Amino acid sequence: MTVLSQQHATASSALEELARDQHATPVRAIEEFRVEVWDSDEEPDEFLVDWRAARSASPSRDPPMADVVIDTDVASYLQRSSEPAWVRDHVLGARAWLTFVTVGELSKWAHLRNWGPVRQARLEGWIAGRPVIPCDRDIARVWGRLAAGAQRRGRPRPQNDTWVAACCIRLGVPLVTLNRGVSRDVVTAVSQGARSILRRHCRSGPGSRGGRGR
């Protein structure tokens, strides 16, 4: 067994252990993601990017995947029933994971906007129904490697984007994202043999205002 194969086997084993602990199951209906927490005039500009180009993207022809990670951008669109069709294609039938980063970013947004107890409870209930990748020492080490590499290239990435990338790389799980910056970091580190990352659907946009963990 090669070193790369051993790494893949270790990542797969760690992911399945998380899935058992959290009773993670595939998404059967996209309605599972809907939650009434957003006001009609309330846009989470802190982590939404321009995805108008993605609206016209042709439906994905990729084979279904057993596991995917959805980042905060995608999670918020799913909650409000405004996601692009290709997102639904990749989420349906897969175990759709959040990372600890998305839990924190959604919670931060709720506190910044002074959501009341009802909306906060709805959000917490929504999060409780999703499997979450927690941070551990292995993920922290991957983050350090990614952050150091980006800094050496003179192109440091937002910290939270790098944490999401580290989670995906450590567990070998594809990322469903509209944020090209996150995907680039993931593809750079995983392209040597791990599962493909859903990169081609990403569109660059104005980025976040207010900074995502910079």
Q: What is the pLDDT of residues 55-76, one digit of tens each?
A: 344 444 455 568 899 999 899 9
Predicted local confidence at residue 1, as pLDDT: 52
pLDDT > 70 fraction of the chain, expressed in percent and rounded: 66
pLDDT (tens digit per residue) in 10-55: 677 888 888 888 888 888 888 887 877 766 555 554 444 443 443 3
Q: How high is the pLDDT of residue 6?
A: 58
Structure confidence by residue, pLDDT tens digits, 126-167 = 999 999 999 999 999 999 999 999 899 898 888 898 999 899
In a domain, 203, yes or no: no
State which residues form the domain around 32.
3-190
pLDDT digits (tens, 9 = 90+) for 86-130: 888 889 999 999 999 999 999 999 999 999 999 999 999 999 999
Number of folded domains that form the chain: 1
Which pLDDT value is given to residue 98? 96
Residue 84 lies in a domain: yes
Read off the pLDDT of residues 165-206 as tens digits, 9 standing for 90 and up: 899 989 988 888 877 666 565 555 443 333 444 443 343 333
What's 158's domain CATH number?
3.40.50.1010
Measured between alpha carbons, how far is 91 from 174 in angstroms, rounded to an integer? 11
pTM score, whole prediction: 0.72
In sequence order, what are the residues at sequence separation of 6 or more whose Cβ sits closer than 8 angstroms to the Cβ of residue 198? 60, 62, 68, 90, 174, 175, 176, 177, 183
| Alpha-carbon gap, residue 90 to 126, rounded angstroms | 20
Domain annotation covers residue 201 = no
Cα–Cα dist 79/32, whole Å: 9
Q: Does the residue 195 lie in any domain?
A: no
Round the average pLDDT of the chain to a whole number and report it: 75
Q: Which residue has the tokens 């980006």?
A: 150
Q: Specify if 202 maps to a domain.
A: no
pLDDT value of residue 46: 46
Q: Measured between alpha carbons, how far is 147 from 159 in angstroms, rounded to an integer?
A: 8
Closest CA to 198 of 27, 100, 61, 8: 61
